[in-house]
Amino acid sequence: MALSLSRYVWPYGQSLAPLLKERSQKEREMSIEMTTMPGNLSSTEDVVIEILSRLPVKNLLRCKCVCKSWHAIITSPHFISKHLRNYYDKSDSDCLLVQNCVSQAGELASLELLLDETPRVLSYDSFHMMPFHSPFLCGPCDGIFYMYGYFYDFRALWNPAINELRYLPPIPNPPSSFSYSPQYDAYGFGLHPVTKDFEVVVLKDLWREKEEERGGTYPLRVFVYSSSTDSWRHWGDLSRYYHLQNNKCYICMDGVFFWLGSYEISGISPEVIISFDMATEICQEIQQPDYCRSNDSKSLATYHDSLALVVLQEMFLHMWTLSEGYCWIKKVSIGPLPQISRPIGHWKSNKLILVSVSGELILCDPSTQEISDLEFIGCSQCVGVFDYKESLVLVNNGNGCAKHNQKADTESNFLISTSSFTPNASNEECVLMESYYDGSYEESIASLFD
């Protein structure tokens, strides 16, 4: 059974059923309207392909079982590309994937929070039956996440919508007399703007193997992974050492990655921003806006397709955007906001995600300065928020993941451990992972061609 992050049955009440049925009805109406589209759809198969290319992934996975011809269409590279153009690129994302640190040992749980435009919580689930443990996420890019397992030193590409996981080969060994320090990797993941390969960029910290020789810092080593060759290559070393912070949301602007960085490990507040361009493979140091950096909390985000620096300082939220000429433009100052603890990222193209002092997620619209509660209370530290949309893009040639599939056979089905989140709740209930579905999609589509 495919793992889908789209819409799950919530077993703790029927209040959401009308909302989900209403949304399902709208999607069916959109599909039916496709039959009246003007254009050069010359055959019934062209019409079928056009309609299917505008459906969510969860429905396409079921449509694959309608007949062999539909299976062949949906799994073809041409259709996957068309689905990206028609559905993924043109539909508004309404899913925010939230990742929390759930134990003092640093264990992570991937949590999803489905929102509509109100916003309103539609589902709240924790994934436990995974073939990996406590991964950090980066993405998504075309529905794909890069996964980094710090505790087990593994790296993988993951498409959760179709249950595909591709483990990456190990990073090349460090030079003689050196080893990699236990610091977390800095990483970026995206689609190369020229080759259209998925690439991962990893920056690693070196230290001396002999403990008595340690004490200094060394320039970071940069490695680049390409999905077409399934291998890493050593790009080179940076000109100096930087202590880089991984972003809490996906930051990749036109094939360029960005990280907040400090010159020293003990740097309290990052002083610079480091960028890496996948196309030109140029790494740059960018100075931050000129402001007093004492007692601030900051994060990178995107705002209307520009890189944004979001700073919370003395209860006021400030935001700058980076222009094409690498000049900072002050966009907004909001406050005072005594209930806000820190900025963490963005949602869609023009909303900011903040964390309150009590752990709640807050949505902020800089254009209107409107603040709204997402009705989500994290049990501990939030480590990532990701604007997610499903895709059919393959990362393992359509073969899924051997470990994942083996575990699915053993456990009969993947489970979602879902807590009821009531004040007296003490036990967790495991429910089969199923999305809301009444069988009407195949019937409505098939009826168009009777």
Q: What is the pLDDT of residue 118?
A: 55
Read off the pLDDT of residues 254-309 as tens digits, 9 standing for 90 and up: 999 999 999 887 766 788 999 999 999 999 999 999 887 777 899 999 999 999 99
Neighbouring residues of 77: CB distance < 8 A, sequence distance ≥ 6: none
pLDDT of residue 157: 94
CA 143 vs CA 52, 79, 285, 390, 395: distances in Å = 18, 15, 29, 5, 10
Judged on CB neighbours under 10 Å (0-12, 13-18, 19+), 448 is middle
pLDDT digits (tens, 9 = 90+) for 131-159: 566 778 899 999 999 999 877 778 999 88
Angle between helices 17-33 and 440-447 (to 10 degrees): 20
Separation of first and last alpha carbons in the chain: 29
